[in-house]
Amino acid sequence: MPGAPTHLFTAIGFKLISALLFAAMSALVRQLSETTPVGQIVFFRSAFAIPPVLLIYALRGEFMSAVITRRPFGQLGRGTLSVFGMFGNFGALARLPLAEATAIQFVSPLITVALAAIFLKERVRIFRWSAVAVGFIGVMVMLVPNFDASRYTAAGAASVALAGSLLAIFAAFCNAGTVIQTRRLTQSETTSSIVFYFSLICALAGAVTLPFAWHTPTGAELTMLIATGVLGGIAHIVLTESYRLASASVIAPFDYSAMLWALLLGYWVFGELPSALVYVGATIVAAAGLAVLFRERWLGLQRAREAGGPRRPEI
């Protein structure tokens, strides 16, 4: 098909840009969390994502499709999961090195496989279940340093790093649930409405916390707070564009570029270097996720080739 290679390279470029923007947003959250309550960060991250999203869709003539929904309770359910996921993710970023918090989040696609089998009744065969098991082993490897008894001695009754790790895992479960709910919503809702209501519900949830926990930001902090929202909103738009131009099985493996950005930003901005076990665990999790993605890609090509003949059994 003429132009297909150009579209593919553009899609991959958009995916890499979105991963960089999300990593930069996470670095800002990590910086802000030293002085600013998580709920306040959630509010700014969500509220200031709405203007760029609405502007882009208005320029496309899709404004009404962004604000009209036929499934308000479905949007509310997805938004609620997103709220818990965002609070968990930002709480993890406040307690963990940037690269470590990012690496643990890579288990989310594997959790999605398990939840799809339970809630969507998708048929999940032994290969994908094995990948899920391997991925969780990778997470446990990353968590090993956080069970060091000396950390408890140094930190008193609780380990900040362990709490951050548990929050990251909780966020990964919430994000996987969000993916499941998104699959349901896409049967009747537009992508623009899903993105808009995600931002709106998270902004409202963050706003509820403001009377109880508020830090008056300096000029620099206010700039960073607004930037988290703008970066997050633009990243969502660019990510959506990447999936418009190429299939998910082609684009999804480039999610793992986020680990590279997190390592670079973590080192340059915070001077953080993860332990060797974090590298080992992240590699195991990434390998398990990529194995599932490439397996699905291969099966899709097989089905396309054999569309007119008998299908081979899946593994």
| Average of per-residue pLDDT across 10-23 | 90
Cβ count near 145 (within 10 Å)? 18
Find the range with the poorest average confidence among 1-10, 163-172, 194-203.
Answer: 1-10
pLDDT in tens, 251-293: 777 888 888 899 899 989 889 888 888 889 888 888 888 887 7
Q: Which residue has the higher pLDDT, 184 or 8?
A: 184
Please tell me the distance from the alpha carbon of residue 69 to that of residue 197, in angstroms, as a whole number: 9
Length of the chain: 315
| Average of per-residue pLDDT across 303-315 | 58
Please tell me the distance from the alpha carbon of residue 42 to that of residue 91, in angstroms, as a whole number: 10
**Which segment, 64-78, 134-148, 181-195, 211-225, is predicted with the most confidence on average?**
211-225
* pLDDT at res. 142: 83
Q: pTM for the complete prediction?
A: 0.84
Exposed/middle/buried for 259, CB within 10 Å: 0-12, 13-18, 19+? buried
Triad 118, 84, 13: Cα angle to 5°: 85
Residue 274, CA distances (Å) to 94, 138, 140, 277 in order? 15, 15, 15, 8
> In this structure, are residues 233 and 51 in contact, taking their beta carbons and an 8 Å threshold?
yes
Structure tokens given for 198: 């995600």
222 pLDDT band (50/70/90 cuts)?
very high
> In this structure, are residues 12 and 246 in contact, taking their beta carbons and an 8 Å threshold?
yes
> In this structure, are residues 49 and 233 in contact, taking their beta carbons and an 8 Å threshold?
yes
Per-residue pLDDT for 8 more than 80? no
187 pLDDT band (50/70/90 cuts)?
confident
61 pLDDT band (50/70/90 cuts)?
confident
Please tell me the distance from the alpha carbon of residue 124 to that of residue 114, in angstroms, as a whole number: 8
Mean pLDDT rounded to a whole number for the chain:
84
**Which segment, 167-171, 237-241, 252-256, is predicted with the most confidence on average?**
167-171
Please tell me the distance from the alpha carbon of residue 304 to that of residue 234, in angstroms, as a whole number: 34
Exposed/middle/buried for 275, CB within 10 Å: 0-12, 13-18, 19+? middle
Which of 212-239 are b and which e, b meaning 16 or more Cβ less than 10 Å from the residue's Cβ? eeeeebeeebeebbbbbbbbbbbbbbbb
> In this structure, are residues 204 and 28 in contact, taking their beta carbons and an 8 Å threshold?
no
Structure tokens given for 136: 């969780």
Closest to 116 measured CA to CA, from 191, 177, 74, 173? 177
DSSP label at 254?
G
Find the range with the poorest average confidence among 34-38, 46-50, 83-87, 125-129.
Answer: 125-129
> In this structure, are residues 182 and 119 in contact, taking their beta carbons and an 8 Å threshold?
no
Helices (H), 106-125: 108-119
* pLDDT at res. 149: 54
